[in-house]
């Protein structure tokens, strides 16, 4: 639906490398609506909740350390097929496999420094939005919508 929402996050390497604007611009230009945005230096405890499904992986400790190493930019983008299209815009998890033209395929090389996060299912998107934006999102009318959707 046009109201589908996804949680997109610029990771600490993306912030340090000055890619926040680039990533926002891609979602804006695609036609998605920005309904929440914040810069936050997350705690390891918060990040362990975000990545709870990966707790058993060998790279988990390194992942949490990296994600807690600097501020991230969390965003909620809304629009048609936002979760699946958001993942397609990010590219494959390992940047060496990400298609050129995707965010990771254009700006990253290493799986442990892949600059962005995107929810993988609608259910996980709702969980992640609740975790990062307990205060809620901001709904508003976008006057361009009749030019984006039939």
What part of residues 91-120 is at the interface with Mg ion (CB under 5 A)?
120
Span of 2-10, 17-25, 78-86, 109-117 interacting with ligand DAT by CB under 6 A: 109-117
Q: What is the DSSP letter of 149?
A: -
Comparing CB distances to ligand DAT, the nearer of 46 and 142 is 46
Alpha-carbon span 92 to 90, nearest angstrom: 7
Comparing CB distances to ligand DAT, the nearer of 37 and 66 is 66
SS3 58: coil
Cα end-to-end span (Å), the chain: 13
Which among 85, 105, 83, 87 has a CA at the least distance from the CA of 96?
A: 105
Comparing CB distances to ligand DAT, the nearer of 78 and 114 is 114
The binding site for Mg ion (CB under 5 A) comprises 120
The binding site for ligand DAT (CB under 6 A) comprises 54, 59, 63, 93, 111-112, 114, 117, 120
């Amino acid at each position: 639906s046009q109201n589908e929402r996804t949680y997109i996050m610029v990771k600490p390497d993306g912030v340090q490398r000055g890619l926040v604007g680039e990533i926002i611009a891609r979602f804006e230009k695609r036609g998605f609506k920005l309904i929440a945005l914040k810069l936050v230096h997350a705690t390891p405890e918060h990040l362990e909740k975000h990545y709870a499904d990966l707790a058993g992986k060998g790279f988990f400790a390194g992942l949490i350390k990296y994600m807690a190493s600097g501020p991230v930019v969390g965003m909620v983008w809304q629009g048609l097929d936002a979760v699946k299209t958001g993942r397609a815009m990010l590219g494959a998890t390992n940047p060496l496999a990400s298609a050129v033209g995707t965010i990771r395929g254009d700006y990253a090389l290493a799986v442990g420094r892949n600059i962005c996060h995107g929810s993988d299912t609608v259910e996980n998107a709702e969980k992640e939005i609740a975790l990062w934006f307990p205060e809620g999102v901001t709904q508003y009318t976008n006057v361009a919508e009749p030019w984006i959707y039939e």
